[in-house]
């Protein structure tokens, strides 16, 4: 019997830390409409006097934000809800940790979908087995 099943990100895809309330983000490069925004693509910036145009929408199928429009380099946009979270992206190599009593089993898997901390996602092991696991980001 498996006592616990935890998925840990092997490499931090998105830096931690979040923007203070009332701050905006500045795009580091051009970003395509409908792509998944990553914190690594933005730096925290002060909001201009005139509120920036909305740039994000929630994708319920994905469970996270997407860009609602293309964003130009250095453009100032409002903060998106996941900014600063350690998100998992499809294709990212992760480490699954399985606890069974005093036994700890680890193996590498590939994410098959996006996820945020606390959410479940499907992953594929090296032998092709597909598993549903809960993602927990490393501190």
Residues above pLDDT 90, as percent of the chain: 26
Residue ranges in 43-110 assigned as alpha helix (H):
none
Q: Is the pTM of this model over 0.95?
A: no
Query: How many other C-beta atoms can be found within 10 angstroms of the C-beta atom of residue 54?
Result: 11
Question: Distance between CA 44 and CA 26 in Å, rounded?
Answer: 6
Among 34-38, 74-78, 119-123, name the most confident range: 74-78
Contact 37, 67 (CB under 8 A): yes
For residue 46, give every residue at least 6 positions away whose Cβ sits within 8 Å of its Cβ, in sequence order, or none: 23, 24
């Amino acid at each position: 019997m498996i006592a616990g099943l935890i998925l840990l990100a092997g490499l931090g895809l998105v830096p931690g830390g979040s923007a203070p309330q009332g701050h905006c983000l500045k795009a580091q490069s051009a970003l395509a409409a409908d792509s998944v925004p990553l914190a690594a693509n933005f730096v925290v910036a002060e909001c201009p006097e005139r509120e920036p145009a909305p740039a994000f929408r929630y994708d319920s199928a994905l469970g996270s934000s997407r860009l609602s429009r293309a964003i130009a380099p250095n453009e100032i946009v409002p903060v998106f809800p996941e900014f600063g979270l350690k998100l998992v992206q499809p294709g990212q190599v992760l480490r699954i940790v399985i606890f069974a009593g005093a036994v700890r089993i680890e193996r590498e898997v590939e994410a098959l979908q996006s996820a945020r901390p606390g959410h479940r996602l499907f992953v594929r092991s090296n032998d092709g087995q597909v598993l549903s696991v809960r993602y927990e980001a490393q501190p």
